[in-house]
Protein backbone atom coordinates (compact mmCIF):
# COMPACT_ATOMS: atom_id res chain seq x y z
CA UNK A 1 0.00 0.00 0.00
CA UNK A 2 1.49 3.40 -0.96
CA UNK A 3 2.28 5.77 1.87
CA UNK A 4 -0.36 8.44 2.44
CA UNK A 5 0.86 11.99 1.78
CA UNK A 6 0.62 14.36 4.80
CA UNK A 7 -2.51 16.47 4.97
CA UNK A 8 -1.94 20.17 4.32
CA UNK A 9 -4.11 22.01 6.86
CA UNK A 10 -2.76 25.41 5.76
CA UNK A 11 -3.89 25.12 2.15
CA UNK A 12 -7.18 25.50 0.32
CA UNK A 13 -10.16 23.78 1.95
CA UNK A 14 -11.30 22.32 -1.38
CA UNK A 15 -7.89 20.77 -1.97
CA UNK A 16 -7.92 19.40 1.57
CA UNK A 17 -11.32 17.84 0.88
CA UNK A 18 -9.92 16.13 -2.22
CA UNK A 19 -6.97 14.81 -0.22
CA UNK A 20 -9.33 13.37 2.41
CA UNK A 21 -11.54 11.79 -0.25
CA UNK A 22 -8.56 10.13 -1.90
CA UNK A 23 -7.72 8.28 1.31
CA UNK A 24 -10.15 5.37 1.10
CA UNK A 25 -12.07 4.95 4.38
CA UNK A 26 -15.04 2.66 3.90
CA UNK A 27 -16.60 1.86 7.29
CA UNK A 28 -14.27 -0.41 9.21
CA UNK A 29 -11.29 0.66 7.13
CA UNK A 30 -10.64 4.16 8.49
CA UNK A 31 -7.17 3.54 9.92
CA UNK A 32 -5.15 5.23 7.16
CA UNK A 33 -7.33 8.33 7.32
CA UNK A 34 -7.37 8.40 11.13
CA UNK A 35 -3.57 8.11 11.07
CA UNK A 36 -3.35 11.04 8.64
CA UNK A 37 -5.68 13.20 10.73
CA UNK A 38 -3.79 12.40 13.93
CA UNK A 39 -0.45 13.13 12.27
CA UNK A 40 -1.71 16.51 11.03
CA UNK A 41 -3.13 17.59 14.40
CA UNK A 42 -0.56 16.20 16.82
CA UNK A 43 2.13 18.89 16.13
CA UNK A 44 -0.28 21.76 16.88
CA UNK A 45 0.73 23.12 20.30
CA UNK A 46 -2.71 24.56 21.08
CA UNK A 47 -4.41 21.15 20.84
CA UNK A 48 -4.35 18.10 23.09
CA UNK A 49 -4.85 15.09 20.82
CA UNK A 50 -6.32 11.77 21.95
CA UNK A 51 -6.60 8.63 19.81
CA UNK A 52 -9.34 6.10 20.61
CA UNK A 53 -9.40 3.24 18.14
CA UNK A 54 -9.94 4.91 14.78
CA UNK A 55 -11.35 8.08 16.35
CA UNK A 56 -9.24 11.22 16.87
CA UNK A 57 -10.21 13.88 19.40
CA UNK A 58 -8.41 17.24 19.61
CA UNK A 59 -9.18 19.81 22.31
CA UNK A 60 -8.24 23.35 23.21
CA UNK A 61 -7.85 24.19 26.92
CA UNK A 62 -7.94 27.98 27.09
CA UNK A 63 -10.26 28.29 30.09
CA UNK A 64 -13.05 29.86 28.06
CA UNK A 65 -16.51 30.16 29.63
CA UNK A 66 -18.04 27.89 26.99
CA UNK A 67 -16.98 24.75 25.15
CA UNK A 68 -18.36 23.63 21.81
CA UNK A 69 -17.90 20.31 20.05
CA UNK A 70 -17.41 20.05 16.29
CA UNK A 71 -17.73 16.48 15.03
CA UNK A 72 -17.53 14.60 11.77
CA UNK A 73 -17.25 10.97 10.75
CA UNK A 74 -14.30 9.71 8.74
CA UNK A 75 -15.97 6.72 7.09
CA UNK A 76 -17.86 6.40 3.83
CA UNK A 77 -20.22 3.91 2.27
CA UNK A 78 -18.63 1.29 -0.04
CA UNK A 79 -16.96 2.58 -3.19
CA UNK A 80 -18.81 2.61 -6.49
CA UNK A 81 -15.95 3.25 -8.88
CA UNK A 82 -15.85 6.83 -7.61
CA UNK A 83 -12.24 7.21 -6.48
CA UNK A 84 -9.97 9.07 -6.94
CA UNK A 85 -11.72 12.41 -6.68
CA UNK A 86 -11.95 14.81 -9.61
CA UNK A 87 -12.81 18.50 -9.85
CA UNK A 88 -14.96 19.76 -12.70
CA UNK A 89 -16.86 23.04 -13.19
CA UNK A 90 -16.63 24.06 -9.55
CA UNK A 91 -17.71 20.66 -8.25
CA UNK A 92 -15.64 17.98 -6.52
CA UNK A 93 -16.71 14.43 -7.32
CA UNK A 94 -15.87 11.30 -5.36
CA UNK A 95 -16.96 8.93 -2.62
CA UNK A 96 -17.55 10.90 0.58
CA UNK A 97 -17.27 14.36 -0.96
CA UNK A 98 -20.71 15.33 0.30
CA UNK A 99 -21.08 12.84 3.15
CA UNK A 100 -19.02 14.09 4.78
CA UNK A 101 -15.34 14.66 4.04
CA UNK A 102 -16.03 18.25 3.00
CA UNK A 103 -17.37 18.84 6.52
CA UNK A 104 -14.33 17.09 8.00
CA UNK A 105 -12.08 19.35 5.91
CA UNK A 106 -13.79 22.45 7.34
CA UNK A 107 -13.36 21.13 10.89
CA UNK A 108 -9.66 20.39 10.28
CA UNK A 109 -9.13 23.90 8.90
CA UNK A 110 -10.72 25.33 12.05
CA UNK A 111 -8.60 23.10 14.29
CA UNK A 112 -5.38 24.28 12.63
CA UNK A 113 -6.31 27.88 11.92
CA UNK A 114 -7.83 28.91 15.25
CA UNK A 115 -5.20 28.63 18.00
CA UNK A 116 -7.21 31.00 20.21
CA UNK A 117 -10.94 30.60 19.42
CA UNK A 118 -13.50 32.64 21.35
CA UNK A 119 -14.80 29.39 22.87
CA UNK A 120 -12.91 26.26 23.81
CA UNK A 121 -13.41 23.70 21.08
CA UNK A 122 -13.35 19.91 20.96
CA UNK A 123 -12.88 18.46 17.48
CA UNK A 124 -14.05 14.87 17.08
CA UNK A 125 -13.26 12.77 14.01
CA UNK A 126 -14.78 9.32 14.39
CA UNK A 127 -15.32 5.98 12.70
CA UNK A 128 -18.15 3.67 11.64
CA UNK A 129 -21.05 6.12 11.32
CA UNK A 130 -22.39 4.59 8.11
CA UNK A 131 -23.04 1.14 9.62
CA UNK A 132 -24.81 -0.31 12.65
CA UNK A 133 -24.89 1.95 15.70
CA UNK A 134 -23.24 -0.74 17.84
CA UNK A 135 -19.97 0.04 16.00
CA UNK A 136 -20.44 3.82 15.84
CA UNK A 137 -17.28 5.57 17.06
CA UNK A 138 -19.15 8.53 18.54
CA UNK A 139 -21.43 6.18 20.47
CA UNK A 140 -18.34 4.31 21.69
CA UNK A 141 -16.79 7.54 22.97
CA UNK A 142 -20.08 8.39 24.66
CA UNK A 143 -20.00 5.07 26.51
CA UNK A 144 -16.31 4.88 27.39
CA UNK A 145 -14.98 8.47 27.30
CA UNK A 146 -18.00 10.77 27.77
CA UNK A 147 -15.77 13.50 29.19
CA UNK A 148 -14.26 13.93 25.71
CA UNK A 149 -17.68 14.85 24.31
CA UNK A 150 -18.71 17.25 27.07
CA UNK A 151 -19.73 20.72 25.92
CA UNK A 152 -22.35 23.44 25.93
CA UNK A 153 -23.26 22.95 22.26
CA UNK A 154 -22.25 20.70 19.35
CA UNK A 155 -22.15 21.02 15.59
CA UNK A 156 -22.27 17.80 13.59
CA UNK A 157 -20.85 18.46 10.12
CA UNK A 158 -23.45 16.33 8.35
CA UNK A 159 -24.37 17.43 4.82
CA UNK A 160 -27.09 20.08 4.97
CA UNK A 161 -26.35 22.18 1.88
CA UNK A 162 -24.86 24.90 4.08
CA UNK A 163 -28.08 25.39 6.07
CA UNK A 164 -28.65 24.74 9.77
CA UNK A 165 -30.80 21.69 10.47
CA UNK A 166 -31.89 21.43 14.08
CA UNK A 167 -32.23 18.19 16.00
CA UNK A 168 -33.33 15.05 14.24
CA UNK A 169 -36.24 12.66 13.99
CA UNK A 170 -36.41 9.45 15.95
CA UNK A 171 -36.84 6.17 14.13
CA UNK A 172 -38.17 2.73 14.91
CA UNK A 173 -38.98 -0.42 12.98
CA UNK A 174 -41.61 -2.94 13.90
CA UNK A 175 -43.11 -6.14 12.57
CA UNK A 176 -46.90 -6.22 12.49
CA UNK A 177 -48.35 -9.72 12.26
CA UNK A 178 -51.53 -11.06 10.73
CA UNK A 179 -52.52 -14.65 11.44
CA UNK A 180 -54.74 -17.23 9.83
CA UNK A 181 -55.18 -20.97 9.46
CA UNK A 182 -53.29 -23.26 7.12
CA UNK A 183 -55.13 -25.29 4.54
CA UNK A 184 -54.55 -26.92 1.16
CA UNK A 185 -54.94 -24.28 -1.52
CA UNK A 186 -57.27 -26.62 -3.43
CA UNK A 187 -59.63 -26.43 -0.44
CA UNK A 188 -58.89 -22.90 0.68
CA UNK A 189 -62.25 -22.45 2.37
CA UNK A 190 -61.02 -24.67 5.17
CA UNK A 191 -58.32 -22.12 6.03
CA UNK A 192 -57.88 -18.43 6.73
CA UNK A 193 -55.41 -16.58 4.54
CA UNK A 194 -53.02 -14.44 6.62
CA UNK A 195 -51.76 -12.61 3.52
CA UNK A 196 -55.29 -11.58 2.55
CA UNK A 197 -55.72 -10.31 6.14
CA UNK A 198 -53.02 -7.72 5.48
CA UNK A 199 -55.40 -5.63 3.36
CA UNK A 200 -57.10 -3.85 6.31
CA UNK A 201 -53.69 -3.21 7.87
CA UNK A 202 -52.44 -1.59 4.66
CA UNK A 203 -55.65 0.42 4.51
CA UNK A 204 -54.78 1.87 7.92
CA UNK A 205 -51.39 2.91 6.58
CA UNK A 206 -52.91 4.46 3.45
CA UNK A 207 -55.34 6.45 5.59
CA UNK A 208 -52.73 7.45 8.16
CA UNK A 209 -52.37 11.20 8.64
CA UNK A 210 -48.83 12.08 9.68
CA UNK A 211 -48.25 14.69 12.34
CA UNK A 212 -46.38 17.90 11.53
CA UNK A 213 -45.57 19.17 15.02
CA UNK A 214 -43.62 22.34 15.72
CA UNK A 215 -40.78 21.63 18.14
CA UNK A 216 -38.78 24.59 19.47
CA UNK A 217 -39.88 26.63 16.47
CA UNK A 218 -39.07 24.04 13.76
CA UNK A 219 -41.65 21.98 11.88
CA UNK A 220 -41.10 18.24 11.64
CA UNK A 221 -42.99 15.94 9.27
CA UNK A 222 -43.53 12.44 10.58
CA UNK A 223 -44.04 9.29 8.53
CA UNK A 224 -45.36 5.79 9.14
CA UNK A 225 -44.83 3.44 6.22
CA UNK A 226 -44.64 -0.20 5.26
CA UNK A 227 -41.10 -1.02 4.15
CA UNK A 228 -41.35 -4.79 3.80
CA UNK A 229 -43.77 -7.70 3.69
CA UNK A 230 -43.19 -11.43 4.08
CA UNK A 231 -45.56 -14.38 4.03
CA UNK A 232 -46.21 -17.71 2.44
CA UNK A 233 -45.47 -21.36 3.17
CA UNK A 234 -45.55 -23.17 -0.16
CA UNK A 235 -47.21 -22.87 -3.54
CA UNK A 236 -50.10 -25.09 -2.45
CA UNK A 237 -50.61 -23.90 1.14
CA UNK A 238 -52.89 -21.19 2.50
CA UNK A 239 -50.51 -19.21 4.78
CA UNK A 240 -51.23 -18.84 8.47
CA UNK A 241 -48.90 -15.87 9.09
CA UNK A 242 -47.83 -12.70 7.32
CA UNK A 243 -45.46 -10.03 8.59
CA UNK A 244 -45.49 -6.38 7.53
CA UNK A 245 -42.43 -4.37 8.53
CA UNK A 246 -43.14 -0.71 9.21
CA UNK A 247 -40.83 2.24 9.81
CA UNK A 248 -41.98 5.16 11.94
CA UNK A 249 -40.05 8.44 11.71
CA UNK A 250 -41.21 10.56 14.64
CA UNK A 251 -40.66 14.12 15.82
CA UNK A 252 -38.37 14.73 18.81
CA UNK A 253 -41.27 15.81 21.04
CA UNK A 254 -41.99 12.08 21.44
CA UNK A 255 -39.79 9.67 23.35
CA UNK A 256 -38.99 6.24 21.95
CA UNK A 257 -41.47 4.69 24.39
CA UNK A 258 -44.18 7.13 23.31
CA UNK A 259 -43.45 6.32 19.66
CA UNK A 260 -43.83 2.60 20.39
CA UNK A 261 -47.14 3.25 22.15
CA UNK A 262 -48.35 5.17 19.11
CA UNK A 263 -47.50 2.32 16.74
CA UNK A 264 -49.27 -0.14 19.02
CA UNK A 265 -52.33 2.12 18.95
CA UNK A 266 -52.33 2.39 15.15
CA UNK A 267 -52.16 -1.39 14.82
CA UNK A 268 -54.46 -2.27 17.71
CA UNK A 269 -55.67 -5.87 17.37
CA UNK A 270 -52.41 -7.07 15.81
CA UNK A 271 -49.27 -8.41 17.42
CA UNK A 272 -46.47 -5.82 17.12
CA UNK A 273 -42.82 -6.77 17.53
CA UNK A 274 -40.27 -3.94 17.72
CA UNK A 275 -36.97 -4.77 16.04
CA UNK A 276 -34.98 -1.56 16.54
CA UNK A 277 -35.35 2.08 17.46
CA UNK A 278 -33.50 5.27 18.32
CA UNK A 279 -34.81 8.46 19.91
CA UNK A 280 -34.66 11.80 18.16
CA UNK A 281 -33.12 15.05 19.39
CA UNK A 282 -34.71 18.42 19.98
CA UNK A 283 -33.38 21.27 17.79
CA UNK A 284 -30.94 22.60 20.37
CA UNK A 285 -31.30 26.19 19.20
CA UNK A 286 -32.42 27.82 22.45
CA UNK A 287 -29.02 27.84 24.18
CA UNK A 288 -27.13 31.18 23.97
CA UNK A 289 -24.21 29.48 22.22
CA UNK A 290 -26.60 28.14 19.61
CA UNK A 291 -28.08 31.60 19.12
CA UNK A 292 -24.62 33.01 18.45
CA UNK A 293 -23.99 30.20 15.98
CA UNK A 294 -27.24 30.91 14.15
CA UNK A 295 -26.41 34.62 13.89
CA UNK A 296 -22.94 33.91 12.49
CA UNK A 297 -24.04 31.27 10.00
CA UNK A 298 -27.22 33.03 8.89
CA UNK A 299 -30.15 31.59 7.02
CA UNK A 300 -33.32 30.12 8.47
CA UNK A 301 -32.85 26.91 10.48
CA UNK A 302 -35.02 23.97 9.47
CA UNK A 303 -35.86 20.63 11.02
CA UNK A 304 -33.67 17.62 10.25
CA UNK A 305 -35.94 15.07 8.57
CA UNK A 306 -33.94 11.97 9.35
CA UNK A 307 -31.85 10.49 12.17
CA UNK A 308 -28.28 11.64 12.77
CA UNK A 309 -25.71 11.43 15.53
CA UNK A 310 -27.00 14.66 17.08
CA UNK A 311 -29.23 12.24 18.98
CA UNK A 312 -26.12 10.79 20.64
CA UNK A 313 -25.09 14.27 21.78
CA UNK A 314 -28.63 14.92 23.01
CA UNK A 315 -28.48 11.75 25.12
CA UNK A 316 -25.34 13.17 26.76
CA UNK A 317 -27.13 16.44 27.52
CA UNK A 318 -25.37 18.41 24.78
CA UNK A 319 -27.70 20.36 22.44
CA UNK A 320 -26.59 19.87 18.85
CA UNK A 321 -27.35 20.86 15.27
CA UNK A 322 -26.42 19.55 11.83
CA UNK A 323 -24.47 21.91 9.59
CA UNK A 324 -22.18 21.05 6.69
CA UNK A 325 -21.39 21.96 3.08
CA UNK A 326 -22.48 18.69 1.50
CA UNK A 327 -25.85 18.07 -0.14
CA UNK A 328 -27.76 15.33 1.73
CA UNK A 329 -29.60 14.36 -1.46
CA UNK A 330 -26.27 13.38 -3.06
CA UNK A 331 -25.03 11.24 -0.18
CA UNK A 332 -24.21 7.62 -1.03
CA UNK A 333 -24.69 8.12 -4.77
CA UNK A 334 -22.24 6.88 -7.38
CA UNK A 335 -21.92 10.43 -8.76
CA UNK A 336 -21.68 12.06 -5.33
CA UNK A 337 -20.22 15.56 -5.41
CA UNK A 338 -19.93 18.77 -3.42
CA UNK A 339 -19.75 22.40 -4.47
CA UNK A 340 -16.31 23.86 -3.82
CA UNK A 341 -17.88 27.29 -3.29
CA UNK A 342 -20.17 25.90 -0.59
CA UNK A 343 -17.22 24.34 1.24
CA UNK A 344 -15.40 27.67 1.24
CA UNK A 345 -18.53 29.49 2.40
CA UNK A 346 -19.05 27.02 5.24
CA UNK A 347 -15.42 27.49 6.29
CA UNK A 348 -15.83 31.28 6.28
CA UNK A 349 -18.99 31.16 8.40
CA UNK A 350 -17.52 28.77 10.95
CA UNK A 351 -14.41 30.91 11.30
CA UNK A 352 -16.66 33.96 11.84
CA UNK A 353 -18.55 32.13 14.58
CA UNK A 354 -15.45 31.04 16.48
CA UNK A 355 -13.65 34.37 16.11
CA UNK A 356 -11.05 34.13 13.40
CA UNK A 357 -8.81 37.24 13.27
Catalytic residue among 75, 130, 240, 327: 75
24 is catalytic: no
Catalytic residue among 54, 120, 129, 327: 129
15 is catalytic: no
Q: Which residue(s) pair with 156 in the sheet?
A: 71, 322
Catalytically annotated residues: 75, 129
Amino acid sequence: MPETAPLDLAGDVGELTAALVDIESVSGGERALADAVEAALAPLAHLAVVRDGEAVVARTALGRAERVVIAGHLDTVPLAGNLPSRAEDGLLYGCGTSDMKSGVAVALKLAAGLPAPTRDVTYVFYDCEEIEVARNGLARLGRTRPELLAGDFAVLMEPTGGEIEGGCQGTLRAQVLTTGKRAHSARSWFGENAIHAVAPLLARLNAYEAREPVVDGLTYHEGLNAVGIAGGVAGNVIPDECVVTVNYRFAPDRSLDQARDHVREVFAGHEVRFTDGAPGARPGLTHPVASAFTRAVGGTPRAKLGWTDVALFSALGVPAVNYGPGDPNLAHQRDEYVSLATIADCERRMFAWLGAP
